Structure 1
Amino acid sequence: MPDTATAIESVRSLGRSQAAMLAEAENERFADLVRSLDGDDWALQTDCPAWDVRAVVAHVLGAMESPVSLREFVHQVRAGGRAAGDRPLIDGITEVQVAERAHLSTSQLVERLTAMAPRAARARRGLPAPLRRMPLRQDVGGVTETWTLGYLYDVVYTRDTWMHRVDIARAVGRPLVLTADHDGRIVADVAAEWARRHGRPFRLHLTGPAGGTFTGGDGGGGEQITLDAVEFCRILSGRGGGTGLLTQPVPF
């Protein structure tokens, strides 16, 4: 029996409540993976060229601590701006997050991450409306875009944590926990944004627990793509190489 395809236009953008539930679940899955790490795992190289596993965890912890404390949020923005220079602000912020947590032991990283994971998800959900509209400039595929802080917190931060969970699992050789209701929803949201960004017809068959079949444009004409769902996201995030429509980046 052929797979039932979903029209990509019918994949709704994440609402605030659903985004909060995905963030809470993803933060906990990330924390679960970090708690499973052994001593030698922390120094293993990830798919992020400048970061080993320890640096990835420090970055994610910093990203979790930012929305919980207004003081920490302001500090990261100001210090990140100075670190970024002419680069996008997000690049400077991530550097600050890693550098300022470099003194923590691995057990301290685990302890703080475990405590922060649920608090961060709640804080992101409770972001006041004026702050949600705060503009942020970011580079995507060589093009400068203006995001809102709400988009960063609701969508990008969850994708970022999810992709870093993939990075760590690949680096240390752990099985990646994937389910259709959680990971599949994140992947579908990525696919929908990818389709909006390139605007061309396609049929996309993503395999694995987080996969699905999606069509866009004329109902399935255009480029035909079959790919593992996680690998699809890795390519769009810049961690893998692609051709054709797979050269369209999506923020993670």
Structure 2
Amino acid sequence: MTTMTNTAPRRPGLERRTAARLAETEYQRFVDVLRTLTPDEWATPTECPGWDVRAMAGHALGMAEMAASPLESARQQRAARKRDGVLIDALTALQVEEHAHLSTAEVVARFAAVAPKAARARRRVPGLLRRAAVSSGTEHAEKWTVAYMMDVILTRDPWMHRMDIHRAVGSTPVLTAEHDGALVADVVEEWAGRHGQPFTLVLSGPAGGEWSHGGPELRLDAVEFCRFLSGRAPGEGLLAVEVPF
């Protein structure tokens, strides 16, 4: 049961100042994780097909570089559109390929340098542009506002990949209620709006919480909940309703 399509362009549920804070923190946490990786861990396969940790970091770097520069964003999108298949798949493959020549130390250094620029550029997108509608570029072909892309997707993406890296190498992620809890709560609210069914949700862990809307209880770890909704694990019932990351 995958329900991703919406008619009106999707808008962010997060308050803009909150979204900016979450973006800045998530970029820094992603850099912090990369700095801890050993040579063997960089080569560890992840749950994303065909990607090891090194490839995942190359993709994340490419997304941050896109966010930091409108010119770089336009260049990457032009190059991706020349390829076959779903746009987001072509784009991420391009990002992995274009950073494959870098050493792991260079990947970390470039991410650390571009992260504050990406957070600042996203925060400064003017209101008129934020209200513009764009295609999600995914197989579901949703329409999103630029604000939703900037405030929500570009933070969920590195967050989920940070979880992917920790899962791949067997380490414990840094999770706090203020940061990760806010991101997960936003995912829950969007998920609830997408399926429109009664539910009671109890998510454990530092990023968890409780939501009661009069339906059957679901009880699981907060990060695992996001793994289901992102399609990383096969879900049943309401856990099969996908949310973009």
TM-score of the two chains, using structure 1 as the length reference: 0.89
Contact 1:180 1:211 in 2 (8 A): yes
In structure 2, distance between residues paired with 1:110 and 1:15: 30
Contact 1:44 1:172 in 2 (8 A): yes
- Match of residue 104 from structure 1: 102
Q: Which residue of 2 aligns with 1:157?
A: 154
Aligned 1:1-252 pairs, distance under 5 A = 13-83=13-83, 85-87=84-86, 89-138=87-136, 143-216=140-213, 220=214, 222-252=215-245
Q: Give the distance between the partners of 1:86 and 1:174, measured in 2 at CA.
A: 34
Contact 2:88–2:137, Cα closer than 8 Å, also in 1: no
Partners in 2 of 1:202 and 1:175 — Cα distance? 29
Q: CA deviation at 1:195?
A: 0.1
Question: CA RMSD for the aligned pairs?
Answer: 1.5
The residue type equivalent to 1:230 in the other structure is V
Task: Give the CA deviation at 1:94.
Answer: 1.2
Matched residue, 2:7: none
Cα gap change, 1:120 to 1:139, in 2 (>3 Å)? closer
Q: What CA distance in whole angstroms lies between the structure 2 residues aligned with 1:178 and 1:128?
A: 31
Where do 5+ consecutive residues of structure 1 fail to align? 1-11
Give 1:139 deviation, angstroms. Answer: 6.4
- Structure 2 unaligned spans of 5+: 1-11
Q: Deviations over 1:12-58 (max 9, x none)?
A: 92011110100000100010000111111111001111210001101
CA displacement, residues 144-194 of structure 1 (integer Å, 9 cap, x when unaligned): 211122211110111111000000011112211000111000000000000
Displacement of 1:86 after TM fit? Answer: 4.3
Letter in 2 for 1:69: S
For the 8 Å contact 1:202–1:215, the answer to whether it is kept is yes
Contact 1:24 1:121 in 2 (8 A): yes
State the 1:96 CA deviation. Answer: 1.3
Distance 1:139 1:68 in 2: 19
Residues 110-136 of structure 1 show CA distances to partners (whole Å, capped at 9, x for unaligned) of: 110111112211111111334323433
Shift of 1:63: 0.6
- Greater shift after overlay, 99-108 or 131-140? 131-140
SS of 1:30's partner is helix
User: Is the Cα–Cα contact under 8 Å of residues 69 and 118 in structure 2 kept in the other structure?
Assistant: no
Structure 1 residue 98: deviation in Å?
Answer: 1.0
Query: Alpha-carbon deviation of 1:138?
Result: 2.9
Paired residues of 1:223 and 1:245 also in contact (CA < 8 A): no
- Hey, what's the Cα distance between the residues in 2 that align with 1:99 and 1:133? 32
Identity of aligned residues (%): 54
Distance 2:78 2:128 in 1: 19
Distance across 1 between alignment mates of 2:230 and 2:154 = 13
**Bigger strand share:** 1
Amino acid at match of 2:220: L
SS in structure 1 at match of 2:224: helix
